[in-house]
Each structure stands twice: as structure tokens, then as C-alpha cells.
Amino acid sequence: MKLIIVSDSHGREANLREVFSMHRTADMFVHLGDGIREFEALQSEYPNVMFEGVRGNCDIGLSVSGSRFSRELAVISADGYRFLITHGNRQGVEWGTERLWYTAKENKCDAVLFGHTHERLCRYEDGIYLFNPGSVSRPRDGLPPSFGVIETSPGGILCSHGQI
């Protein structure tokens, strides 16, 4: 199964659309917050595509309260693997990934997908993948805007980054 992961689009709907057009055959699109409004707009145009998402700290107060994307944390499944999805601000990711790792462990997840820092990360730590796609609009790591690609199979999980 192929998942396309985006985060921190901050109103740049054109960037989301570019990622979507690059990967139209993906099985699932996941937004990790701070841009849920433009993600919902994209989802409404493609009702037969699987979209998942959580809100970020900049999404609070927007008109997403009745949305299925109004949650701050969720567990999704793909090919039998469990993914914790969150923006990461409530787990203090700007100071480290320890709380994030423990939250994933408590939820019996194989991987945790998060945003907030606007910096790419792909690390395997004590049985759990920690993955941040970076920012699809305003990266802070000196690299171009980015997104994540996760492919699952019976053999495992493969994480990579793409850029626009």
C-alpha cells in the first residue's frame, strides 16, 4: 500500500495539489495538520480517494470542528501496520521525540507520523518508525518543500521523502 504524507501546508493549496497530481494512484493521502482546510477542499473534489488527517496547532479555531479531521491524534491502519498520526505539538516534538515515541508505544503502533517542526525526519528507534515529511510549504531545514512516501508490504515499511 502506498501512503502520501503531507504536513504544514499553511494555506498553500497549490502545493498540495501538485503533490496529489504527482501521486494520484496512491492508496491514501494523509495530512498531519496546519492546513486541514485546504486538505478538506481537495478531499471534497475526490470523494473516492482515501484521505486521513489530524489538525495542527494553527488549525484550531478554523471551521474544522465538525470535520473528521478535527481530531488531534488518530491511529490508522495499512496492510496490518498501525500508524499513529498527530501534528506533534502536544507531544513537544520541537524539543525531542521521546513523548511521541511513548505515545506510539502506548497505542501499539509500528510507526508515528508527525509534523510541526517543518523538518524532514525518518528514523527507526526501538521498534518504531518516527517519520516527519517536512513542510509542503515552508520548510525550516534549508531544503525545498517536501512530502513523505510510505510503502507497506508483508516485508515491512519503507519511508522516503519527495520534494516539489
Q: Is 156 helix (H, G, I), strand (E, B) or coil?
A: strand
What pLDDT shows up at residue 60? 73
Q: What's the pLDDT score for residue 64?
A: 47
Helix, coil or strand: residue 113: strand
Mean pLDDT value across residues 121-141: 96
In this predicted structure, the answer to whether residue 142 has a pLDDT above a threshold of 60 is yes
Q: Please tell me what DSSP assigns to residue 116.
A: S
pTM for this entry: 0.93
Cell of 164: 516539489
What CATH number does residue 90 fall under?
Answer: 3.60.21.10
Structural domain total, the chain: 1
pLDDT > 70: percent of the chain: 95
State which residues form the domain around 66: 2-163
Within the chain, residue ranges assigned H as helices are 13-22, 36-45, 98-106
Q: Classify the C-alpha dihedral 135-162-45-157 as positive or negative.
A: negative
25-81 residue pLDDT tens: 999 999 999 998 888 888 888 888 899 999 999 987 655 445 667 789 999 999 999
Give CA separation, 105 vs 5, 29, 37, 134, 160, in Å. 21, 23, 30, 22, 22
